[in-house]
Amino acid sequence: MKIRFLPSDWLGLAAGTVAGLIQGITIFSSNIILHTENTPVLPGVFFGLFAPAILALFSKIIPLPAPATNQKIGRYINMIFFMITFGIFTGISGFGYYLFVNGDSSAIPILSFFGSAGIGFIFAYLINPELAFRPASNLQTDANSTDR
């Protein structure tokens, strides 16, 4: 299976990387980590890995019409690729900050969830690639569209 990257794919990868790198560091100054001191890590990791894939499977079995907003955003940015890189780079930058700057250990459950969710979105994309709303796969509907 050969994947041809479109400009919207590259934009999704770039935007997700930048957002993930920033989020991984700013999570340590967030108030949300005050409530995660005794939170176990593994349930969040399993949820991040399997929830996107399960939802992709459901959307493949029971196809529903996508909101018009998702299709319009998908013309410019691939949101699945955004979520993949956002999750992975949030985990990378957050754990890097934790290891090298001695960040608060209560952020580990959140960083573990986001890192595993990035991998979970890879599985979701492999299960149902149509969730990406790639413009090349919808050329016929784009040509007939009048709301440009």
Residues 2-20 pLDDT 10s? 667 888 889 999 999 999 9
Based on the structure, what is the number of domains in the chain? 1
Residue 99 lies in a domain: yes
Residue 64 lies in a domain: yes
How far, CA to CA in Å, does 19 sit from each of 41, 48, 116, 138?
23, 18, 16, 27
Q: What is the pLDDT of residue 138?
A: 45
- Structural domain including 58 reads 21-28+39-136
Mean pLDDT of the chain: 84
Average pLDDT score over residue span 120-125: 94
The pTM of the full predicted model, rounded to 2 decimals, is 0.82
**Residue 49 pLDDT > 70, yes or no?**
yes
Residue 55 lies in a domain: yes
Q: What is the pLDDT of residue 136?
A: 52
Residue 6 lies in a domain: no
**Residue 140 pLDDT > 50, yes or no?**
no
Give the closest residue to 113 by CA, choosing from 32, 12, 57: 32
**Residue 105 pLDDT > 90, yes or no?**
no
Residue 9 lies in a domain: no
